[in-house]
Structure 1
């Protein structure tokens, strides 16, 4: 399986993602945001970080990078595209996913482990995964997912919610919502389920020495589904 990680000015999780993908069998290539073409890919990843210093709006400047035209064409052709944290912000700014990501509810940067409940397994990202709740890491200042009433109805109707913030047993309530996201949303799909945006970082949880291995479960399941 071939994967591509896009590096933007200010990306800081691109190498972490490269390590994670290679560990589980992807042949990964790193592509600079100013390039025009993607290499042959089964998966394209927009990594976490602070592209362009998060000026204007997080992800807004990165969404206009030259490589994004190829990412858009790849996604519209059914290619798998995953955005993690800042990558999620770039996807919504590019119009590939609905909604926006606002400042966290308490106006503070959050850096900690959280639990997320998998809401939809009828897709290449989570089909057959052996756990319903994962422990992953978040590190963001603008992770508060918001959309209009009309959009949230459409997202619900199309089963586009990928992940909810929850507790260890999968209970979804405001006590387990770290940033104020509407309905505890931690990740969403597009209608076709080939694009996934999520705030938690699975690439940070691939080794016991890195505080957990639930990210390993995610990546191992993903490559098995793409084979």
Structure 2
């Protein structure tokens, strides 16, 4: 199996994602967006960065690249897809998930470690954790505030499609623990299928033990064969 990491002009976390997946013994290759998805693709990472310089809106231009039609088709067929940071923005802009990411409440670029509460432990991306577990994952974004209209937010909550929330170290939510003003403290959500997820924090940056914590490993293990029935 091969995970395709899509590189757009302005992507800058594609190599980080490949290093992290290689460390986990998950076969991965970087794919230039104009070349389309390889036939052997069994998983897809849309990595972080500043695709097309974040002109117009972060992720809006990359979302209209022809390869994203291939990604949507693959996602509909059950291929695991993970959008990280700019990849989360692209995922929302291309309709893989609900909502959108916009300018941080602070109107500043923020690069720091945050705490995330795992809202579900029965998805490919969270089976390595316990529900309610708190993990430490960094953010690095200027447009990370998750926005969605109230009706769709209610549906998202009712359908249990919130994957991670920003929280305090003890798992409680608070305005101080929410770094960007995201609605309902949302840091990551699922698409129509549990095999599709986007999140603003960077799990690939907390995967390699020789450079720091490894709390992000469990998220990337979503590309491994199913375990425990997930």
In the superposition, the TM-score normalised over structure 1's length comes to: 0.94
Give the number of equivalent residue pairs: 227
Q: Matched residue of 1:34: which SS?
A: helix
CA distance in 1, matches of 2:225, 2:129: 10
Partner of 2:138: 137
> What aligned pairs does 1:120-199 form with structure 2 within 5 A after superposition?
120-129=120-129, 132-199=133-200
After TM superposition, the structure 1 = structure 2 runs for residues 73-88 of structure 1, keeping only pairs within 5 Å, are 73-88=73-88
Shift of 1:225: 3.4
CA positional deviation for 1:130: 5.4
Deviation at 1:199, TM superposition (A): 0.4
| 2:58–2:143 Cα contact (<8 Å) kept | yes
Shift of 1:2: 2.1
Aligned partner of 1:212 in structure 2 is: 213
Q: Equivalences for 1:28-67 in 2 at 5 Å?
A: 28-67=28-67
Q: Partners in 2 of 1:177 and 1:130 — Cα distance?
A: 21
Query: 1: CA distance between counterparts of 2:128 and 2:71?
Result: 27
In structure 2, what is the equivalent of residue 203 of structure 1? Answer: 204
Indicate the SS of the match to 1:25.
coil
Structure 1 residues 171 and 190 mapped into 2: Cα distance closer, same or farther (>3 Å)?
A: same
- Whether the 8 Å CA contact 1:38–1:70 is kept in 2: the answer is no
Q: CA deviation at 1:207?
A: 3.0
Answer whether contact 2:59 2:89 (CA < 8 A) is retained.
yes
Q: Structure 2 unaligned runs (5+)?
A: none
Structure 2 equivalent of residue 16 of structure 1: 16
The structural deviation recorded for 1:69 is: 1.4
The gaps in structure 1 that reach 5 residues or longer are: none
The aligned residue for residue 98 of structure 1 is 98
How big is the shift at 1:77? 1.1
Tell me if structure 2 keeps the 8 A contact 1:126–1:221. yes
Deviation of 1:150 (Å)? 0.6
**Distance change >3 Å, CA 123–CA 216, structure 1 → 2:** closer
Deviation of the 1:102 alpha carbon: 0.9
Structure 1 CA distance for aligned equivalents of residues 130 and 191 of structure 2: 23
- For residues 225 and 100 of structure 2, the distance between their equivalents in structure 1, rounded to whole angstroms, comes to 31
Q: Please report the RMSD computed on the Cα atoms of aligned residues, expressed in angstroms.
A: 1.7
Q: Which runs of 4+ in 1 moved over 6 A?
A: none
